[in-house]
Amino acid sequence: MLTFGAALARRCLRQGVAGPSTGRCPGASARRCMHDSADARAGQTPRVRFAPSPTGALHLGGLRTALFNYLFARQSGGRWLLRIEDTDRSRLVEGSQESLLRVLALCGLTPDESPSAPGDCGPYVQSERLSLYAAACEQLIRDGHAYRDFQPEAATLAEKEAERKTKKKTPRPNRDAIVPDEEEAQRLIAEGRPFVVRFRVPRKPTTIQDMVYGSITMPKSHADDPVLVKSDGWPTYHLANVVDDHAMRITHVLRGEEWLPSLPLHLALYEALRCPPPAFAHLPLLMNKDGSKLSKRSGGHVNAQDYLAEGYEPEALLNFVALMGCNWHGREGDNEVMSLSEMVDGFSIANVSHARAKLHLDKLRFLNRQHMARKLERGGEAAAELLSRARQALAGRWPEAKELMTQSRVEQIVRAVMGRPDTVNEIADTASFLFEAPDWSTSEAAKLRGDPETYTPVLHTALDLVEVASEAQARDELWLTTALEDFALRLEAANGWQAGQGKQRVMRQIRHALTARSRGPSIGTVLVLMGPALARERLHAALDHFASEASTAALPEQ
C-alpha cells in the first residue's frame, strides 16, 4: 500500500495538479521558480548544501564533502544548507539520520539551514517536498521532455537479468513506439496500469565545466532513458536533486567524483526545466592505501562514527579528511595540523586536486596526538572534555581505582603520557604501569634489565633515594632525576665506562624494575606518578624476582 505522500505524488502526476504546499514553490509557484532566469542569480550570496541519504553511517568521504561545503560557505560569506534525501525508501536505515547529525555536531559543522533550523526554503527533508517534484514532472511531460512508460517493470527486470547472464544488451523498443498519446495514457491510468516517468535524454555529446576537473566532453549517451519517477510514485535522485537545488537557490554544488558521470543528465534536466544550473565541483574519491576503493569490504573503518568511537578527536578527523585531495601548502604557517577556523582561512576550491586521495592512517594517528596535545595546552572546556573522556577510559579499565582518579590525578597522568598514545582510549594502555604489576619475565624485560652485576646496587640506590626524599622532593621530577644522574656519574667513574653509559644503564634498570617496559615517560616522571609507597613496593618486588631467578639458575641440573 502506498503511503499518503506517495499516493499524493501519484495523483499529482496523473491529474496534472500540484498537491498541498510542502515546499517553497508548490503548484504554479513551483513552475515560476523553474522559469527563473540566470540573471536572477547574478550576484547572489553563495549557497551550498550537504545532502546525505539516511541509508547508513556517515562515510569518511561524506564527512569530507560536508567539510568542504562548510569551508566554502564560511570563506565566501555564504550559507551552508543540510538537506536529507530520503526518497529511496527501500534503503532507509533507522537511526542513521540521527547518527549523521550527531557526527556533524561533534565535528562542529553547524549548518545555517537544516530540518532543525529551517530557513525560507524548507522543508529540508525530501519526503516532505513531494508536490514540488510532481509539479516539475508535470512540466517535463507537458513540454515533451519526459514520458510515461507503461511497460511492465517485471519484463524490464527480466531483460536486465538476461543481459547479465548472456552479457548481451537486449534491444529496447524505440521510445516513441512505447509512449502512448495523452488519451491512451489516461485510459491506462484509469485501468490502474503501473508506470514510470522517464526523461528523454538528449542524444548528443556534452561539454561540461567543473571547478575541479575543468572542461570535460562526454560522448552522447546510448543508455536507456533514466527514470525520474518510480512506479510507486517516489521521485528518483536525479529529479529530486535538481529540483531541490534550484528551489533552494543553491549556487555551487560540491559533491563526490562518483556523480561526475551523471552531470550531463543533470544539466539536461536544468535545461529542460529552464533553470540556471549551479556551478559544480566534484571531489576526488577516497581510496585505500593500496589504491582500492574505500569500502567496508576492504576491511577497516570507513565510517566517521567508528573513528570517533575509538577515541579519535573530531578535530583530528576533520583535519585528516581535509588533507585528502586538497593542497594546503602556502597558507600562513604551512602546518598540516589545523583547527577548523584555520581551515576556513586557508581553504580554496582551486587547491582541490582531481587525483584520488589514499587513506594513510599513520597520518591520522599523528594528527590525533597533535590535537590532543593542543587541547591540553590550551585548557578550557576542550581540555576538560578530553580529561573527562580519559578518566572514563582509565576507570573503565581499572574500576577498582576509580575513586582515586580525581581530576588533578587524571590530568597528571595524561600530561605525563601525552605524545605516546594515539587516542584518548589508548591512554589507559599507556598508563597501565601505574595500575598493574610489571611482568619481569618477558624477553623485552630481560633485555631491558641489562648487566646483572649492577642491577641490585642500582635498585638499592633508587630505594634509598625514595626513602630520604622529602614530600616535596618526591613530587619534584627535576630533583629526582638529578639525584639519579649524580649516582650514575659516580657509577660510571668507578667502572671506567664511557661518558653517558652510566646514566643509560641506571635509567634502564630502574625502568625495568618499575615498569618492565622499554618505552614510557622519564624515570623522574614515573617516580612522581607512582609516589614513594608504590615505587618502594615495585623496587622491592623487582629485587625479590631477581633474587628468585638467580637462585633458580644456581640450582644444579637434575
- Give the domain CATH number at 407: 1.10.1160.10
C-alpha cell at 223: 543508455
Whether 515 is covered by a domain: the verdict is yes
Nearest partner of 228 among 3, 9, 2, 22, judged by Cα: 9
C-alpha 477/C-alpha 412 separation (Å) is 12
pLDDT of residue 161: 73
- 419 and 537 in a single domain? The answer is no
Domain contains 285: no
Looking at 278, 312, 328, which one is the last position of a domain? 278
Is residue 510 within 8 A of residue 542, CB to CB? The reply is no
The DSSP H or E segment spanning 208 is strand 206-210
**Could you tell me if 247 and 317 lie in one domain?**
no
Q: Are residues 82 and 225 in the same domain?
A: yes
42 and 187 co-located in one domain: yes
493 and 413 housed in the same domain? no
CATH number at residue 42: 3.40.50.620
Selected catalytic residue, list 296, 402, 447, 503: 296
Name the residue type at position 521. P
Q: Look at residues 385, 408, 434 and tell me which one is the last residue of a structural domain.
A: 434
379 and 501 housed in the same domain? no
Instruction: Please give the full DSSP string across 251-310, using - where no structure is assigned.
Output: -EEEEEGGGGGGHHHHHHHHHHTT-PPPEEEEEPPEE-TTSSB-SGGGSS--BHHHHHHT
Looking at residue 555, what is its pLDDT? 56
Has residue 454 been placed in a domain? yes
Whether the ω angle into residue 202 lies within 30 degrees of 0, i.e. cis, is no
Considering only the C-alpha atoms of the chain, give the largest distance between any 2 of them, rounded to a whole number of Å. 110
Digitized pLDDT (tens) for each residue of the chain, 558 residues in all? 333 234 334 434 443 333 333 333 333 333 333 334 334 455 789 999 999 999 999 999 999 999 999 999 999 999 999 999 999 999 999 999 999 999 999 999 999 999 999 999 999 999 999 999 999 999 999 999 999 999 876 566 676 677 777 766 666 666 666 788 888 889 999 999 999 999 999 988 989 999 999 999 998 877 889 999 999 999 999 999 999 999 999 999 999 999 999 999 999 999 999 999 999 999 999 998 888 888 755 556 789 999 999 999 999 999 999 999 999 987 666 689 999 999 999 999 999 998 898 899 999 999 999 999 999 999 999 999 999 999 999 999 989 888 888 999 999 999 999 999 999 999 999 999 999 999 999 988 988 998 899 999 999 999 999 999 999 999 999 999 999 999 999 998 998 899 999 999 999 999 999 999 999 999 999 999 999 999 999 999 999 999 998 777 665 665
Q: Which of 415, 434, 453 is the last residue of a domain?
A: 434
Residue 290 lies in a domain: no
How many domains does the chain divide into?
3
Q: Which domain holds residue 255?
A: 4-278
User: Do 50 and 164 fall into the same domain?
Assistant: yes
C-alpha cell at 14: 496523473
Name residue 50's beta-bridge partners. 82
| Residue 91 lies inside a defined structural domain of this protein | yes
Residue 207, C-alpha cell as written in the block: 561539454
**Closest of 470, 454, 428 to residue 513, by C-alpha:** 454
Q: How many CA atoms lie within 13 A of 38 on its CB side?
A: 6
- Tell me whether residue 204 is one of the annotated catalytic residues: no
What's the CA gap between 538 and 2, in Å, rounded?
Answer: 72
pLDDT at 10: 46
Say what the pLDDT of residue 180 is: 83
Determine the Cα–Cα distance for residues 517 and 417; give it in Å rounded to an integer. 14
pLDDT at 156: 63
Asked if the structure places residue 284 within a domain, the reply is: no
Residues 77 and 201 in one domain: yes
| Claim to verify: residue 232 and residue 321 sit in the same structural domain | no
Indicate if 515 and 407 belong to the same structural domain: no
What whole-number distance in Å separates Cα of residue 346 and Cα of residue 351? 10
314 lies in the same domain as 459 = no
Q: For residue 518, is it within any domain?
A: yes
Please tell me whether residues 213 and 331 are part of one structural domain: no
Residue 296 falls within a domain, yes or no?
A: no
Beta bridge partners, 299, equal none
Q: Per-residue DSSP letters for 439-489?
A: -TTSHHHHHHH--HHHHHHHHHHHHHHHHH--HHHHT-HHHHHHHHHHHHH
